[in-house]
């Protein structure tokens, strides 16, 4: 294969503007946030340098912080549970459904809706039956009165109600990614495998799964890192309540920065979130690189 040789100066002309823009929009704000996390500052008056004081308070004196970290990690893990299901469904759609694209487009619909609309929609679904809540109404009509709850106001249940809405919203998104990956596997491979006696599940075991690993990794990274940054859906549906029962890292950061006017402390939480995202991104990439090498 011929390789087009391009002078380094030409490459620099095209790459440098994007690189500079990326540095300005991504790395400089991160550095500013790290520095601001070292300040005791309300965002308006003169800042006071306190070193790692905000981080010390965050780790040892904040009763909301660690529970919010636990909920965020559970949120991220829960978001990944649907991806194997999406892969299985993508394989079945590709193999047995003639117009699978239409079904995938229907499943994708929640993704294009505004989070505000989705939040308001599900708040209505979760309402008590006396307020027209559909879920409780269906449970009562089925004779399951004991299963009814105030889904968004009971501390032990509210977070699980949010997990479910998030899974519902992004199911079509991950299904589309997996379906596209499965469709791009050449049919010739399956035909050759069929001649050798590998069909159905066996063909998926030796052809589909090894070739879909890079696409699977993309879904996992997007789901996990996106969930670590979960903010909008939680704010719309519960705003972190009741009594911080649905607070995640990002909502705790927002409330600390803008509601409690502890901007420096909020920046420390933001810095922690950035570090967690980088660590888990590196971990997932390392894990999948090993899996890809094993399949190769």
The 10s digit of each residue's pLDDT in 24-39 is: 998 899 999 999 999 9
Residue 112 tokens, joined: 């294009």
Q: Give me the percent of the chain exceeding a pLDDT of 70.
A: 98
pLDDT at 293: 82
Q: If 0-12 CB within 10 Å is exposed, 13-18 middle and 19+ buried, where does residue 131 land?
A: exposed
Is 39 strand, coil or helix? Answer: strand
pLDDT at 56: 94
pLDDT at 122: 94
Phi, psi of 39 (to 5 degrees): -110, 150
For each of the domains in the chain, give its residue range(s) and CATH number, in order of start: 63-293 (1.10.3720.10)
pLDDT of 89 over the 70 cut: yes
pLDDT of 149 over the 70 cut: yes
Residue-averaged pLDDT of the chain: 90
pLDDT at 169: 92
pTM for the structure as a whole? 0.86
Q: How far apart are CA 19 and CA 12, in angstroms?
A: 10
Q: Give me the percent of the chain exceeding a pLDDT of 90.
A: 55
Q: Which residues of 239-272 are buried (b: 16+ CB within 10 A; e: fewer)?
A: ebbeebbbbbbbbbbbbbbeeeebbbbbbbbbbb
pLDDT of 1 over the 60 cut: no
pLDDT band at 4 (very low <50, low <70, confident <90, very high): low
pLDDT in tens, 48-87: 999 999 999 999 999 999 999 999 999 999 888 889 999 9
pLDDT band at 196 (very low <50, low <70, confident <90, very high): confident
pLDDT at 3: 59
pLDDT in tens, 207-244: 898 899 989 989 998 998 888 878 999 999 998 888 89
């Amino acid at each position: 294969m011929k390789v087009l040789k391009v002078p380094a100066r030409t490459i620099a002309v095209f790459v440098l503007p994007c690189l500079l823009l990326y540095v300005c929009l991504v790395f400089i704000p991160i550095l500013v946030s790290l520095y601001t996390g070292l300040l005791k500052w309300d965002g308006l008056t003169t800042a006071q340098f306190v070193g790692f004081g905000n981080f010390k308070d965050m780790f040892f004196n904040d009763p909301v912080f660690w529970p919010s970290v636990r909920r965020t990690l559970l949120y991220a893990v829960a978001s990944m549970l649907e991806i194997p299901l999406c892969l299985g469904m993508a394989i079945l759609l590709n193999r047995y459904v003639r117009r699978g694209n239409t079904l995938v487009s229907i499943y994708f619909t929640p993704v294009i809706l505004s989070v505000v609309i989705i939040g308001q929609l599900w708040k209505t679904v979760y309402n008590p039956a006396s307020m027209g809540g559909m879920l409780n109404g269906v449970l009562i009509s089925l004779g399951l009165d004991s299963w009814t709850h105030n889904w968004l106001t009971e501390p032990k249940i509210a977070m699980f109600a949010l997990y479910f809405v998030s899974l519902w919203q992004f199911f079509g998104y991950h299904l589309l990614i997996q379906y596209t990956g499965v469709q791009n596997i050449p049919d010739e491979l399956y035909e050759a495998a069929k001649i050798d006696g590998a069909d159905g599940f066996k063909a998926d075991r030796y052809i589909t799964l090894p070739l879909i690993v890079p696409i699977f990794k993309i879904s996992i990274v997007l789901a996990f890192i996106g969930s670590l940054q979960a903010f909008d859906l939680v704010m719309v549906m519960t705003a972190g309540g009741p009594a911080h029962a649905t607070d995640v890292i990002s909502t705790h950061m927002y409330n600390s920065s803008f509601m409690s006017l502890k901007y420096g402390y909020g920046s420390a939480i933001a810095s922690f979130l950035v570090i967690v995202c980088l660590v888990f991104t590196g971990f997932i990439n390392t894990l999948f690189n090993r899996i890809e090498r094993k399949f190769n």
